A and B are shown apart, each in its own frame.
Chain A
Amino acid sequence: MDLSYILFNTIVYGVLATTLAAFMAYWKFLNLAVAAYFVLSSYVVYQLVTFWFGRGFVAISLLLVWVFFCLHQLLLKLFKNEKQRDLAAIVITLSAAYFLDNIIAYFYGPWSINVQNVQIGIGTLIAIFVLLLLVFYYVFSKSTIWVVLKWIYEKTAVIKSLWVRVDRLLQIVFGMFLILLLATSFLYLTKSAIRPTDGIFFLLKAVGIMIMVWVDKKEYMFVGSLLYVIVEYILFIERWLPIVYKETLILFVILAVLLIKPEGLFSLAKRKT
Chain B
Amino acid sequence: MNFVFHIAIMAIIFSILAVGFKFFLKLIGTLDFSYMGIVMFGAYSASLIHLHRWWWILSSVAGAFVFSLPFTIFVMYLSTKLSELYFAIGTLTVYVLMYQLAFNLEFITRWAFGLAGIGRDVIADLDIVSIQSFLLFAAIVMILLFVGLYFFKRTYFFRILQARWEGPLITKSLGIYTSKYVLSMICITTLLAVIGWSLFAFYYRYIDPPSFWIGMLTVLLTISFLSYKYNEATTFLIGFGVMFFYEYLRFFKIVDPSKLWYIREIIFTLSIVIIGFVVFRKLQFARKQ
Contact = CB atoms under 8 A, between A and B. Distances in A.
B90 A247 contact: no
B289 A96 contact: no
A30 B89 contact: yes
Contacts of B92: 94
A242 B105 CA distance: 12
Given A87-B31, A200-B96, A259-B81, A74 B277 contact: yes
A99 interface: yes
B270 interface: yes
Nearest to A210: B89
Range for the number of chain A residues in contact with chain B: 35 or more
Nearest to A207: B89
A204 B273 contact: no
Nearest to A99: B269
Given A71-B273, A99-B273, A262-B82, A91 B31 contact: yes
B97 A98 contact: no
A245 B104 contact: yes
A90 interface: yes
Given A84-B280, A248-B100, A95 B269 contact: yes
Nearest to B29: A87
Interface stretch (A4-12, A185-193, A222-230, A250-258): A250-258
B82 A84 contact: no
Given A87-B85, A91-B221, A102-B262, 11 more contacts: A86-B85, A91-B272, A95-B269, A98-B265, A99-B266, A99-B269, A99-B270, A211-B86, A242-B104, A254-B90, A273-B86
Interface of A: 30, 71, 74, 78-79, 82-84, 86-88, 90-92, 94-96, 98-99, 102-103, 105-106, 200, 204, 207, 211, 242, 244-245, 247-248, 251-252, 254-255, 258-259, 262, 272-273
Interface of B: 30-31, 78, 81-86, 88-90, 92-94, 96-97, 100-101, 104, 214-215, 218, 221, 259, 262-263, 265-266, 269-270, 272-273, 276-277, 280-281, 283, 285-286, 289
